[in-house]
Amino acid sequence: MKKSALFAVVIALSLAALPLPAQNSTADSASSAKPPQPPSRFREPDPLDFDNHSGYEQIFDGVDLKGWDGDPSYWRVEDGAIVGESTKDHPVTNTYISYHGYRGKDFDLKLEIKVENGGGSGIQYRSQTGLPWIRLRPGQPAPNLDWMMTGPQADFWYPVAPRNAEWTGQFYSENTPLGIVAWRGEVVESEAGKSPRLVGNIADRTPLGGYVRVNGWNQYHIIARGGTMLHILNGQLMAVLIDDDPKSSNNQPGLVGIELESTPSKVSVRNIWLKKISQKQ
């Protein structure tokens, strides 16, 4: 091949490798651009301020136990909190302190709770005192029934073992045949004559334990409306029970209280606020 022909081929190949110039790029960009979207008329709700107590009544003043009834050998006021303590020198299987300034069914309850040294606790609500104690253990002396509570409980336990750790946040029916009704992470429905049914899952039970502040103060928010009860811990929904049986022990007006369970254990509860919800007849 002559040099002139070879040069022509090289030039042709070089030109073929060059990118083609954009044609009507401005027009193409304009045609592909999406028109601006109007702002949404919807907005997400603002997060709940746990420290907002508008409409609430403080049922413990941080000074004394006025309105509360419990065994004084276990319950006291310390550093602005209701404290229950069980020791090896003064053990207890379980005992309760109840608030007698309100008996109701529909309300919001906010408080802070801490459990130390092991054992467990729970917040009783819609609960009764003075009923026969069906959970009496062998060798356990008969308790003073005025200091025992029967009914719904928002559980809270020190994580001495994996089993105990996963109880915090669940719905427990104290001193009834029901026992644990809604485990942590569950939405459960119950009706007369049938076993409770799992409606849906909130999240896996074990990761939810990450919201629990061990040896620290935890914000507990309990919402009770008709047959629906919600347990919220440190802003995280833990368990929901929908009880459609109007005769259930979960659906009766009752007292608010605190449990001390096992030895050794120390439970502290402070900043207890209650908002009463009126029922329309």
Whole domain around residue 180: which residue ranges? Answer: 77-135+143-276
Measured CA to CA in angstroms, residue 84 lies from 158, 163, 183, 234, 252 at distances of 14, 23, 25, 22, 26
Tell me how many domains the chain contains: 1
* Stated pTM of the model: 0.85
| Rg of the chain, C-alpha, whole Å | 31
Q: Greatest CA span in the chain, whole angstroms? A: 117
For residue 141, give the DSSP letter.
P
44 occurs within a structural domain:
no
Residue 201 lies in a domain: yes
From first to last of its 281 residues, what are the pLDDT tens digits of the chain? 444 443 343 334 344 444 544 555 555 555 567 888 888 899 999 998 999 999 999 999 999 999 999 999 999 999 999 999 999 999 999 999 999 999 999 999 999 999 999 999 999 999 999 999 998 888 888 999 999 999 999 999 999 888 899 999 999 999 999 999 999 999 999 999 999 999 999 999 999 999 999 999 999 999 999 999 999 999 999 999 999 999 999 999 999 999 999 999 999 999 999 999 986 53
Q: Is residue 185 part of a domain?
A: yes
- Residue 50, domain member (yes or no): no
- Find all residues with CB under 8 Å of 171, minimum gap 6, and list them: 152, 153, 154, 155, 180, 181, 182, 188, 229, 231, 239, 240, 241
Neighbour-count burial of 235, counting CB atoms closer than 10 A to its CB (0-12 exposed, 13-18 middle, 19+ buried): exposed
Contact call for residues 95 and 148 (beta carbons, < 8 A): yes
CATH number of the domain where residue 269 is located: 2.60.120.560
Residue 11: inside a domain = no
Decide if 62 is inside a domain.
no
